Structure 1
């Protein structure tokens, strides 16, 4: 599909999406579509209308604080980008230039604004049959302004690489990330949000995984005032594998949100979703909405999703909503789970009964809870950095 600035609401059978006539209505208080697979999609911001906070995909988000992201930014006004190895930077992609838009179609107004505002997309391409031994680091540094961005990450057939997106500084950033994992490729993408406290970051990651390919995708959110990273992964090819992992630690005044969607389209696909978060502070808030769709042709699918949240102080709040749709009875397995709670008092008692002070016992429980996701990174330097960040957050609770 070739996208253009004049495209209207899209119907794309490859995405199992339907056109919602309400998408072109300005009265967005009427929202007939509830499932992720049926949400309207368009490259044109006006097709979505201005969010009011009653829409199904905005009702858990502080919309009134994000109005700056509902209109395009001045070019290059808010962030600076730097990739650790320029060898893997292909020619920039203007709107309409493949493979930009081969899979990505915005699901909300911010995605459409970023599409239009990013006149040229950064294209990171891993050559066919090449294994990149060292992780590629893409640094996004906020410079205090408003910015739009579109990034295309393409792993050509039978290639292998790890790409880390690190966000620092402050900005009002509308970002699209389009990930294409070609046949037989293996890719790991890690997005780390270490923004300053006043940053606003709304990002849409859309990934397609082709035949016998493998994608691990991590969302790690520690910093920022409002951070919303929504991930959409389609396992389109037979035998493809997908992993969606998330780790967050929210403090007073932070809103950390992820709306996750995994679509099993191809046969014999395998998917795993695990997001974990900890919250401290009376106004700390997290939102996780997880949707898994097993399509009609996805025979032999094995899929599971889970979200776990730990509330460390009074007043912290975590919303967790898992959803599972199955359109074929011929699957290997499928399930979902969600849990939100305070400290396990039995664990604390067990540790304290063995002479461990309460503060140290609390630290061990939290580390044990979050480390499951940290260890899945299999990146020792980043694992150590995140463990230290968790330790620093816990020190504030005990202070």
Structure 2
């Protein structure tokens, strides 16, 4: 006889509501609209009206029509690459590009992604050969030079069997960008992928708003047998940045760690939606996203969904989102979801918390003679420290730390 354990607890100190499932069988009646059927046919993706689950938090009026029929014909951008010998990083077009699209098994699940999938006439390919061990990060920098016409883009990152590498993709300048990102991690490979939204209109001290960058990105990860992937998204700049991340396991033993860090200023909308599809046995996933908000109208959205299918015995998964509100007028929405179709799992849980400064931490620092402004900065740095430490790419950690310092200077904390 198997006994199901299903506990719900909340700690008053942190406000975290934690939900864990171990053993037994728990079937969650979460509607399928959390992870809609993918399709490259635009007819399968009607124009959203804002009431759909996938779009209910997104201010559609600020998307410049890319969710409808606005032209996706922009080309005002440059791509700069720093890659060691043996790693291929190039733009491909024509029949080769058409063949590469969907390499990860990805099919668009929303209208902007489907439009970009069709409109992008090239694919930027980062190819890490099998058995390659790349010590230094591979760097790809996308620099936009205007927001007038939306740009469709398609990025494919492939790590061959038993390869090991880190890829850092940075977004700078200004743009209206609709992008599909496919990540294929071969059997036994170890890959770290970091995306940094640092659009110039919001990171240099200027306020976000009309004329700022809009970036819609759909990330899809295909994780091979015993492969280990670390995927991190850092969002700082831009008027509206909306990212979706989906993970599929193609064989047993895959391990995916999803990390996120975001800092929203006045008027900014930063949104992340994650879907981890456990459909293979003995796979792991661990999600940790943390965000800070300051200024009137700053808005962040995090929606996490983990599905453990009936075939995914031995799954071990956990997801957490935490938000720190620094000023009045900011809003953070956090929605964790967990769907379990088999009780034969190692463990599963989720947690979410949104709050202001921890009074106990501040009191401790103030009682030791640390000025209040310094104490508040220390709390924010410590809040983000866990995510930065787990990213593990020194250049990214240093860059993010500098950006966070600029954000804190802007707020006067």
Structure 1 pair 288–91 and aligned structure 2 pair: CA distance change class (3 A): closer
Residue of structure 1 equivalent to 2:176 = 172
Equivalents in 2 of 1:59, 1:91: separation in Å? 35
Cα shift at 1:122: 1.3
Q: Which of 337, 346, 349 matches 2:363?
A: 349
Matched, 1:111 2:113: yes
The one of the two structures with greater contact order (alpha-carbon pairs below 8 A, sep at least 6) is 2
Matched, 1:209 2:207: no
Equivalents in 1 of 2:93, 2:101: separation in Å? 6
SS at match of 1:68: coil
Q: Which of 333, 337, 340 matches 1:326?
A: 340
Structure 1 pair 234–94 and aligned structure 2 pair: CA distance change class (3 A): farther
Matches within 5 A, 1:203-242: 203-242=217-256
Residue of structure 1 equivalent to 2:34 = 36
Cα shift at 1:93: 5.3
Matches within 5 A, 1:1-399: 34-37=32-35, 39-70=36-67, 71=69, 73=71, 75-85=73-83, 87-89=87-89, 92=92, 94=94, 97-102=98-103, 103-145=105-147, 146-195=150-199, 196-197=201-202, 198-398=212-412
Residue of structure 2 equivalent to 1:19 = none
SS at match of 1:183: coil
Equivalents in 1 of 2:70, 2:182: separation in Å? 19
Structure 1 pair 317–261 and aligned structure 2 pair: CA distance change class (3 A): same
Query: Could you tell me whether the CA contact under 8 Å between 1:236 and 1:264 is conserved in 2?
Result: no
Structure 1 pair 91–352 and aligned structure 2 pair: CA distance change class (3 A): closer
Query: Could you tell me whether the CA contact under 8 Å between 1:120 and 1:150 is conserved in 2?
Result: yes
Cα shift at 1:35: 4.2
SS at match of 1:55: coil
Query: Could you tell me whether the CA contact under 8 Å between 2:137 and 2:168 is conserved in 1?
Result: yes
Equivalents in 2 of 1:264, 1:189: separation in Å? 20
Q: Deviations over 1:33-70 (max 9, x none)?
A: 55433x13221333212111111100000111114313
Equivalents in 2 of 1:178, 1:72: separation in Å? 24
Query: Could you tell me whether the CA contact under 8 Å between 1:34 and 1:56 is conserved in 2?
Result: no
Could you tell which deviates more after superposition, 216-225 or 373-382?
A: 373-382
> RMSD across aligned C-alpha pairs, in angstroms?
1.7
SS at match of 2:80: strand
Query: Could you tell me whether the CA contact under 8 Å between 1:259 and 1:288 is conserved in 2?
Result: yes
SS at match of 1:346: helix
Unaligned runs of 5+ in 2: 1-29, 203-211
Equivalents in 1 of 2:77, 2:333: separation in Å? 30
Q: Deviations over 1:149-193 (max 9, x none)?
A: 011111111111111110001111000001111111111100000
SS at match of 1:98: helix
Query: Could you tell me whether the CA contact under 8 Å between 1:72 and 1:113 is conserved in 2?
Result: no
Query: Could you tell me whether the CA contact under 8 Å between 1:298 and 1:328 is conserved in 2?
Result: yes
Query: Could you tell me whether the CA contact under 8 Å between 1:78 and 1:172 is conserved in 2?
Result: no
Query: Could you tell me whether the CA contact under 8 Å between 2:100 and 2:123 is conserved in 1?
Result: no
SS at match of 2:296: coil
Equivalents in 1 of 2:361, 2:70: separation in Å? 50
Equivalents in 2 of 1:324, 1:335: separation in Å? 8
Q: Deviations over 1:77-114 (max 9, x none)?
A: 23222221384126725477434213110010010011
Unaligned runs of 5+ in 1: 1-31
Residue of structure 2 equivalent to 1:29 = none
Query: Could you tell me whether the CA contact under 8 Å between 2:224 and 2:254 is conserved in 1?
Result: yes
Say how many residue pairs are matched. Answer: 367
SS at match of 2:193: strand
TM-score, normalised relative to structure 2: 0.85
Equivalents in 2 of 1:244, 1:230: separation in Å? 12
Query: Could you tell me whether the CA contact under 8 Å between 2:34 and 2:53 is conserved in 1?
Result: no
Could you tell which deviates more after superposition, 88-97 or 160-169?
A: 88-97
TM-score, normalised relative to structure 1: 0.88
